[in-house]
């Protein structure tokens, strides 16, 4: 058997610490800066070590983080086998948490790589999305982030009103209507406002943020709508938005976050990936006890599925009857019923989207869809 060079990398914004080993030999440490030139130097160093040790294979691994997949792409292009590991799947003891150093983190990853190469243990690797999917995620995720910021600004304005014991006048309707915003603008001005100078400045600042984020949200809505009408997504989006409760944003979050739908072999794998399966605890003769859902996988998808499921329960009589029947089995645990509805909807969307993408008519052009969405 030829030698294999194995590397566990502790990756940071500005640095990379490598723990390197050849076969079962003793590991050594090597550090590099995390920039384009230093990465090139690291690749050259690893290849020189492969030549020195007559290794036909280099296996490199690091944990997924906000760094993205740029290092993976560069190593793969250079002919180095690279794996990005899921941090949530890496076993960590209480002692390791108290004695956390970069070298120990790199050693932990190296141990996982060694177990994979030498003993065939499966790696806890994440799926690497293609560059197009990564780019599509950027606009969809940014749109979700802007919604969260806009919600936070609205909450701040509501809190300011409560602190000053101000209530919405009658006749302005419910929600963030135009008339309500006009009333807030009047409060932020000096003439006749019950707010003091500090309160007026704070409310005026929040209103400026509100207007900016509202306009930014409109721009991103148009960008997401254009993306949804592209050849890559139009067939699947049309199929998904035909499901009661599923809007354009729900469909686009589902498609961009899951990426290649064919990588899930069955609905159980999909539900596990979405984190919508119960945790379990079994020890010795004790029965398998089910607990809360695992909450693994993309939280963005779970949030959208939750919103869409509530809309679906309200507007679809068949789904409402199914939900009520499940809820009646255990009235004290109503969350179980909505989680089951989320899992049911996710599986339905997976089936529908796969069928649409495999359909011969999937490449036929269509008009730009409206951005009506439950999310």
Let me know whether 210 and 270 are in one domain.
no
Is position 368 within any domain? Answer: no
Is position 157 within any domain? Answer: yes
Cα–Cα distance, 253 to 255 (Å, whole number):
6
Let me know whether 169 and 59 are in one domain.
no
C-alpha to C-alpha distances, 284 to 91, 278, 292, nearest whole angstrom = 21, 20, 21
Average pLDDT over residues 57-86: 95
Is position 124 within any domain? Answer: no
Let me know whether 139 and 185 are in one domain.
yes
Output the domain CATH number for residue 30. 3.30.420.40
Let me know whether 240 and 211 are in one domain.
no
Among 61, 95, 119, the domain-final residue is 119
Let me know whether 114 and 151 are in one domain.
no
Let me know whether 193 and 147 are in one domain.
yes
Under the banding of pLDDT at 50, 70 and 90, the label for residue 16 is very high
Among 196, 228, 260, the domain-final residue is 228
Q: Mind listing the pLDDT tens digit for each residue in 110-135? A: 999 999 999 999 999 999 999 999 99
Does the pLDDT value for residue 14 go beyond 80?
yes
H or E element, residue 25: none
Is position 244 within any domain? Answer: yes
Contacts (Cβ under 8 Å, ≥6 apart) of 304: 249, 250, 253, 254, 375
Q: What integer pLDDT is reported at residue 333 of this predicted model? A: 80
203 or 374: which leads in pLDDT: 203
Among 204, 228, 252, the domain-final residue is 228
Is position 372 within any domain? Answer: no
Does the pLDDT value for residue 295 go beyond 50?
yes
Q: Give the three-class secondary structure for 125.
A: strand
Does the pLDDT value for residue 357 go beyond 80?
yes
Cα–Cα distance, 370 to 64 (Å, whole number):
35
Let me know whether 32 and 51 are in one domain.
yes
Is position 240 within any domain? Answer: yes
- Asked if 309 and 345 touch (Cβ cutoff 8 Å), the reply is yes
Total domains present in the chain: 3
Let me know whether 142 and 27 are in one domain.
no
Contacts (Cβ under 8 Å, ≥6 apart) of 186: 192, 193
Range of the domain at 351: 234-363
Is position 374 within any domain? Answer: no
Q: Mind listing the pLDDT tens digit for each residue in 253-268? A: 999 999 999 999 999 9
Q: How many CB atoms lie within 10 A of CB 347?
A: 18
Which pTM does this prediction carry? 0.87
Alpha carbons within 13 angstroms on the beta-carbon side of residue 133 total 15
Nearest to 258 by CA among 338, 335, 352: 352
Let me know whether 214 and 327 are in one domain.
no
Nearest to 154 by CA among 214, 97, 114: 214
Let me know whether 175 and 259 are in one domain.
no
Under the banding of pLDDT at 50, 70 and 90, the label for residue 172 is confident
Let me know whether 246 and 224 are in one domain.
no
Is position 370 within any domain? Answer: no
Let me know whether 302 and 356 are in one domain.
yes
Q: Mind listing the pLDDT tens digit for each residue in 307-356? A: 999 999 999 999 999 999 999 998 878 889 999 999 999 999 999 999 99
Cα–Cα distance, 374 to 245 (Å, whole number):
6
**Three-state helix/strand/coil letters over 226-252:** HHHCCCCCHHHHHHHCCCCCCCHHHHH
Q: What percent of the chain has pLDDT over 70?
A: 93
């Amino acid at each position: 058997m030829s030698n294999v060079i194995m590397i566990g990398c502790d990756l940071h914004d500005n640095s990379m610490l490598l723990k390197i080993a050849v076969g079962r030999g003793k590991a050594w440490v090597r550090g590099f800066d995390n920039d384009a030139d230093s990465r090139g130097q690291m690749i050259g160093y690893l290849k020189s070590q492969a030549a020195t040790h007559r290794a036909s294979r280099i296996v490199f691994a690091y944990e997924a983080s906000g760094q993205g997949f740029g290092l993976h792409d560069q190593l793969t292009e250079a002919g180095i086998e690279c794996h990005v590991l899921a941090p949530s799947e890496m076993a960590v003891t209480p002692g390791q948490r108290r004695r956390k150093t970069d070298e120990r983190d790199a050693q932990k990853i190296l141990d996982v790589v060694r177990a994979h190469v030498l003993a065939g243990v499966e790696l806890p690797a994440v799926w690497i999305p293609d560059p197009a999917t990564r780019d599509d995620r950027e606009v969809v995720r940014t749109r979700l982030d802007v919604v969260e910021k806009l919600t936070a600004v609205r909450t701040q304005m509501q809190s300011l009103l409560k602190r000053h014991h101000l209530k919405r006048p009658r006749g302005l309707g419910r929600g963030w209507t135009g008339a309500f915003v006009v009333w807030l603008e009047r409060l932020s001005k000096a003439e006749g406002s019950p707010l003091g100078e500090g309160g007026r400045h704070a409310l005026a600042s929040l209103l400026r943020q509100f207007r900016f984020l509202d306009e930014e949200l409109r721009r991103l809505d148009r960008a997401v709508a254009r993306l949804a009408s592209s050849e890559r997504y139009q067939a699947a989006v049309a199929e998904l938005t035909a499901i009661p409760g599923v809007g354009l944003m729900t469909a686009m979050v589902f498609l961009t976050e899951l990426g290649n739908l064919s990588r899930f072999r069955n609905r159980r794998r999909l539900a596990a990936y979405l984190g919508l399966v119960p945790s379990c605890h079994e020890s010795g003769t004790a029965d398998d006890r089910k607990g809360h859902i695992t909450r693994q996988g993309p939280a963005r998808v779970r949030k959208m599925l939750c919103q869409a499921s509530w809309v679906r329960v309200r507007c679809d009589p068949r789904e409402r009857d199914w939900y009520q029947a499940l809820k009646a089995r255990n009235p004290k645990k109503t969350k179980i019923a909505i989680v089951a509805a989320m899992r049911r909807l996710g599986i339905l969307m997976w089936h529908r989207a796969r069928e649409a993408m495999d359909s011969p008519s999937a490449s036929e052009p269509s008009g730009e869809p409206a951005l009506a969405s439950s999310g």
